[in-house]
Structure 1
Amino acid sequence: MTQHTVPQRRWDLKAATAPHHDRIDRLGSLYGMFDSLNAYRKYLKATWHSRLILETLLDESELKRIFSDWDKHKIQSDLQQDYADLSDGEELKRPELKFPVGTRVDLPAAIGTLYVLEGSALGATFLIQKTRLLGLGDEYGARHLAKQVGNLAGWKKTVSLLESVPLDKQDEKRCIEAAIYSFRTFEISYEKAFGEP
Structure 2
Amino acid sequence: MNAPASPAPEPGRCQRLKAASRREHDSVDTLVLGVRPFESRERYALFLQVQHRFHGSLQALYGDVQLNRTLPGLAALSRFEAVQADLRDLGLPVPGVPAPVQLSAPAEALGWLYCSEGSNLGAAFLFRQTQQLGLGAQRGARHLAPHPDGRALQWRQFVGLIDALVLSEEQERQAVDGALAAFEFYRSSVRDIFG
- Residue by residue over 1:114-160, the C-alpha shift from the partner in whole angstroms, topping out at 9 and shown as x without a partner, is 21111011111111111111111111101111155756233112221
Determine the structure 2 residue equivalent to 1:74: 78
Cα distance in 1, alignment partners of residues 193 and 132 from structure 2: 22
Determine the structure 1 residue equivalent to 2:5: none
Determine the structure 1 residue equivalent to 2:162: 162
How many residue pairs match? The answer is: 186
Cα distance in 2, alignment partners of residues 180 and 156 from structure 1: 21
What is the correspondence of 1:1-197 to structure 2 with a 5 Å cutoff?
Answer: 6-60=10-64, 62-87=66-91, 90-94=92-96, 97=99, 106=106, 108-148=107-147, 150=149, 152=151, 153-195=153-195
Cα distance in 2, alignment partners of residues 173 and 82 from structure 1: 35
Amino acid at match of 2:85: Q
Q: Aligned Cα RMSD in Å? A: 2.3
- Residue by residue over 1:76-116, the C-alpha shift from the partner in whole angstroms, topping out at 9 and shown as x without a partner, is 111111112112xx43221552668xx8962x322212211
SS at match of 2:145: helix
Question: Do 2:90 and 2:140's aligned partners in 1 also have CA atoms closer than 8 Å?
Answer: yes
Cα distance in 2, alignment partners of residues 173 and 193 from structure 1: 30
Moved beyond 3 Å, runs of 4+: 147-151
Question: Do 1:138 and 1:146's aligned partners in 2 also have CA atoms closer than 8 Å?
Answer: yes
Cα distance in 2, alignment partners of residues 84 and 78 from structure 1: 10
Q: 1:75 to 1:95 in 2, by over 3 A?
A: closer
Question: Do 2:57 and 2:101's aligned partners in 1 also have CA atoms closer than 8 Å?
Answer: no
What percent identity do the matched residue pairs reach? Answer: 30
Cα distance in 2, alignment partners of residues 128 and 58 from structure 1: 23
Q: Which of these two proteins has the greater Rg computed from alpha carbons?
A: 2
Question: Do 1:122 and 1:149's aligned partners in 2 also have CA atoms closer than 8 Å?
Answer: no
Show structure 2 runs of 5+ residues with no match. Answer: 1-8
Question: Do 2:105 and 2:174's aligned partners in 1 also have CA atoms closer than 8 Å?
Answer: no
Amino acid at match of 1:44: L
TM-score when scaled to structure 2?
Answer: 0.85
